[in-house]
Amino acid sequence: MNTSTANAPFERALQDNLQTIKKLLPSEDILTYEFETADELACALVYADGIVNKELLARLVASPLQSTDLTRLLPKKDGGRVEANEKTAENAVEKSQLFPEFKTVQTIEDGVNEILDGNTLLLVDTIPVGFISGAKLLPVRTIMEPPTDIAVKGPREGFIEDIKTNMALVRKRLKTPALRFETLRVGKQSYTAVTLCYLEGTSIQSVKDEIKKKLQAIEVDNIPDSSYISAFLAPRKHSLFRTVGTTEKPDIFTAKIAEGRVGILVDGSPIALTVPYITTEDLQSSEDYFISPFTATVFRFLRLISLFVAILLPAFYVSAQLFKMQLLPLGLMLTIASSVRELPLSPSMEMFVVLLLLEILKEASIRMPKYVGMSLSVVGALVLGETAVSAGFLSTPAIIIVAFSGICLYTVPNFVETGSLLRWLFLLVGGALGPFGIVLLSAFTLCYLLTADSYGTPPLAPFSPLIKSDLRDAIVKFDMQSLSSRPAFLRSKNKTRLKVGAKHDKSENK
Amino acid sequence: MIMNYLQTTSQNDGVHARQIAFFSAFLLPTYKLLEAPSLLARYAKGDLLLPALFHFFLQTGLLLLLLYASSRSEKTLLSRMEERLGKWSVAVYIVYALFFLFYAVLPLLDLEKFVYAIFYDTSPTLFSFAFFFILCGFVCTKGIKCMGRIADLSLFLFLLPFLLLLLMSLVEADASNLLPFFERPLSDTGKAFTYTTPHFSDVVLILPLLGNLRYQKGDGKKITLGYATGSLLTLLFLGVFYAVYSTVAPREHYAFAKIAQYFPALTIVGRVDLILVYALCIVLFFYTVSPLLFSAYCIAKPLKTHRKTLVAFCIALGAFLFVLFCNKYYNRIYELIAGKLFVIFYLIADLLPLSLLFLSKRKEQKNNA
């Protein structure tokens, strides 16, 4: 875009403006509809074809203007003389409109950006401003339950790709004047809307400032998904661990905002981001808050144990065979010994092959069409698994262990990518150094996590640093009444989120 | 309070009194579970609790004096020391940097032997242990703040496995093995006391953390309680250890890793107690790194060097080379340090820190008033 032309204000002559816009937007999908008012004043609508509701545009913008005598709408001074200036002319146009979403822009650049965003620019001859009507009609899918975040109990709505719909879903749940949306544009070519959502007075300013600073510093052509933004927001670029929370569900998103986090919605992505993020969030599910705290605690412990099993079991199995047989009970050791006796591969190599098979099958089943996926699982389970065992390439315990580890990992869906990589790492050190390597890598991982603060929040909080009040909703889940304060690690100034027995403000006012 | 902590520790080396308490309660006892029980049993037999008790009384007294020194000003001990001594504070830092390296010798050699004995049924190469020094280097780059957070985490990593191991070992324990009390002559108890001085010189490890603490009311109680908890847990273990092994106790090295193996259920489910031992080992690894971390801190702080990573990895490399070349002389080094050079511990670990008592006058608040 030629910036000098684009930054210029609108001209008085309609045709001059149209020519400038045509120069800036020469694409064939940018259309112009020219017409005249009742007093023969030339007007034009400029819009992008396919993303505008033309019917609304005709009915609520063009048609009223065509039947309006603009000079009649201009204010008159004493004696009936018309007071004609830019401001009064603008007001006259606005009065003639029936469209509820209507605003003015002063420069051509703003007008062009609005056109690209799906809005329509109305230009009237002799008036040097542009009028924007929000007759956007973008193709959007319906709101449905997100496939990655299914809950048996609780709300089933999920975010979609349209940011306005997502903002509405958030507003629907947080009907407070403290809820703020701040939209920034990111992407040199895509000019994607990225909206910060937070509760004023609850979220902390330093986090908001840091996010804004990072978003403004992004220089990238295109933002196809929120994961791009998440990569730019992460304090450590090469970290194996997530530093930004993600969710597809508005109920989780609003709950996190209400706790004091800052949410980020990205146009074109159904995945919303939340900052700051701690590792225990992965172990929590939205359902935990809709069932009894005891059951929720048991489920969380199950997830935690599953996570450890998923990451460490293959490594311990290999290291037990190679370095420390005592780890296995005698009966099991004999069973394993008989099944691995004639294997051509070493225990670590065998586990490596089985794990590789699992990862390949997983990757292929995600990418393949559904009807092929069915046959793929048959090939994977029967042909590869069963035949490999009967042919003596692999042992049954190794397949059981990898299968179990694979299932366990999916109890914590948000940790699958990291867990998968960690499993490889642990397998590598378990095969090379035995249990010592596993313990050493565990210590190393913990030490890394202990100091990998993001946005001033330690990822292992509330365990380290120990925050007693936040332990009530970490692994062990206390009842609702006990969760009276907002998480301390978020450093919110507004600490109280629940007062048991407190009267409602409105009733107090009465 | 936690908000202040989060804000301050994200920027500097500040630690919380709770972290010092946890460090004393859950990190310091881990090293005492390795060789100290068999050493104490070798000299003091059934009276092994006595020398341990003497050590704890001595260390608690020292800790109380240092806490008193710390409570006398709102500034940290180290900043007061730097203000008072000026350029000479560099010398103090260097002395302690060297001392911490000296302090790390026995834990490193012990850990190496322990790893080979407990983690392997096979005979691993020396280079298997070399990977431990990568962890050392990594932790050393992270500073005092990291050790504070490790202390917090050690509550979960140490307490539950330790108590479970202790419970599982009770099935074989016979408390009458500890009787009669005061059976051994005082000279033997004295010998056990001096030989285990390197294992029980705890306060010097607390010193760098305490030196960075901005003392607040009630901190002294927390830290003392933490140290008392650690001492109690150690004494409890020593008691159970002798109750289980009795006369063969002097030959039972690294007892905590095998003390629970007689638990009946283990014959069915396998050595699951080793999982608990491994959890404790994570804490043990962090304990072993701590003197190296403090040494790196003492070198980097006065020199105001920005090359913390270089200092950290130089120390880790030095420690690795030492273990590589000296592991053969384990017994001689042990004899030298525990039998002859233990005086250094009394001088630098116990007496020198007491000079901090003379650092400052009354609280600044009172001065202002």
pLDDT digits (tens, 9 = 90+) for A226-245: 999 999 998 888 888 988 99
Q: Residue A283 contacts by C-beta under 8 Å, 6 or more apart in sequence? A: A300, A303, A304, A307, A412, A475
Residue A99 and residue A234 in one domain: no
Mean pLDDT of chain B: 87
Question: Under the phi-then-psi rule, with left for phi > 0, alpha for psi from -120 to 50, and beta for the rest, what region is A273?
Answer: beta
Residue B98 lies in a domain: yes
Final residue of a domain: which of A402, A424, A451? A451
Question: Under the phi-then-psi rule, with left for phi > 0, alpha for psi from -120 to 50, and beta for the rest, what region is A272?
Answer: beta
Contact list in B for residue A491 (CB cut-off 8 A) is: 3, 6-7
Count: domains in chain A: 3
Q: Tokens 């109305």 identify what position?
A: A122
> Is residue B262 less than 8 Å (CB to CB) from chain A?
no
- Mean pLDDT, residues B290-317 taken together: 86
Given a cut of 60, whether residue A506 has pLDDT beyond it is: no
pLDDT of residue B165: 94
Contact list in B for residue A450 (CB cut-off 8 A) is: 142, 146, 149-150, 153
pLDDT of residue A446: 95
Residue B22 lies in a domain: yes
Give dist(CA A441, CA A459) in Å, integer: 18
- Mean pLDDT, residues B178-192 taken together: 85
Per-residue pLDDT band at B9 (split at 50, 70, 90): very low
Which ipTM was obtained for this model?
Answer: 0.91
Give dist(CA A402, CA B195) in Å, integer: 49
Residue B350 lies in a domain: yes
Per-residue pLDDT band at B6 (split at 50, 70, 90): very low
Given a cut of 90, whether residue B280 has pLDDT beyond it is: yes
pLDDT tens, position by position, B27-64:
999 999 999 999 999 998 888 999 999 999 999 999 99
Given a cut of 70, whether residue B132 has pLDDT beyond it is: yes
- Asked if the Cβ–Cβ distance from B149 to A435 is below 8 Å, we say no
Per-residue pLDDT band at A336 (split at 50, 70, 90): confident
3-state secondary structure (DSSP) of residue A187: coil
Given a cut of 80, whether residue B8 has pLDDT beyond it is: no
Given a cut of 60, whether residue A461 has pLDDT beyond it is: yes
Segment holding A11, helix H or strand E:
none
Name the pTM for this structure.
0.87
Residue B366 lies in a domain: no
Residue B344 lies in a domain: yes
pLDDT tens, position by position, B105-128:
999 999 999 999 999 988 887 788
> Partners of A274 in the beta sheet?
A245, A263
Residue A44 and residue A170 in one domain: no
CATH code of B233's domain: 1.20.1730.10
> Partners of A133 in the beta sheet?
A102, A120
> Is residue A307 less than 8 Å (CB to CB) from chain B?
no
Q: Which residue of B has its CA nearest to A322?
A: B122
Residue B6 lies in a domain: no
Give dist(CA A108, CA A112) in Å, integer: 6
Residue A311 and residue A423 in one domain: yes
Mean pLDDT of chain A: 86
pLDDT of residue B21: 96
pLDDT tens, position by position, A149-187:
788 888 889 999 999 999 999 999 999 999 999 999 998
Give dist(CA A248, CA A159) in Å, integer: 5
> Is residue B235 less than 8 Å (CB to CB) from chain A?
no
Contact list in B for residue A448 (CB cut-off 8 A) is: 138
> Partners of A263 in the beta sheet?
A197, A274
Residue A463 lies in a domain: no
Cβ–Cβ < 8 Å for A129, A17: no
Residue A405 and residue A434 in one domain: yes
pLDDT tens, position by position, A374-404:
777 777 776 777 788 888 888 889 999 999 9
Given a cut of 90, whether residue B172 has pLDDT beyond it is: no
Give dist(CA A504, CA B15) in Å, integer: 41
What is the nearest CA distance from A489 to chain B, expressed in angstroms? 7
Residue B216 lies in a domain: yes
Given a cut of 90, whether residue A8 has pLDDT beyond it is: no
Given a cut of 90, whether residue B305 has pLDDT beyond it is: no
- Mean pLDDT, residues B333-359 taken together: 85
pLDDT tens, position by position, B198-245:
999 999 999 999 998 888 888 999 999 999 999 999 999 999 999 999
- Asked if the Cβ–Cβ distance from B6 to A457 is below 8 Å, we say yes
| C-alpha B127, offset from chain centre | 25
Question: Under the phi-then-psi rule, with left for phi > 0, alpha for psi from -120 to 50, and beta for the rest, what region is A244?
Answer: beta
Half-sphere exposure of A30 (CA within 13 A, CB side): 20
> Is residue A464 less than 8 Å (CB to CB) from chain B?
yes
Residue A484 lies in a domain: no
What's the Rg (C-alpha) of chain A? 30
∠ CA B88-B93-B95, nearest 5°, is 100
Q: Which residue of B has its CA nearest to A325?
A: B121
pLDDT of residue A306: 96
Per-residue pLDDT band at B10 (split at 50, 70, 90): very low
Residue A117 domain boundaries: 3-133
Residue A129 and residue A175 in one domain: no
**Of B121, B132, B150, which has the smallest distance from its Cβ to A450's Cβ?**
B150
Contact list in A for residue B288 (CB cut-off 8 A) is: none
Given a cut of 90, whether residue B355 has pLDDT beyond it is: no
Residue A458 lies in a domain: no
Residue A144 lies in a domain: no
**DSSP letter, residue A194:** E
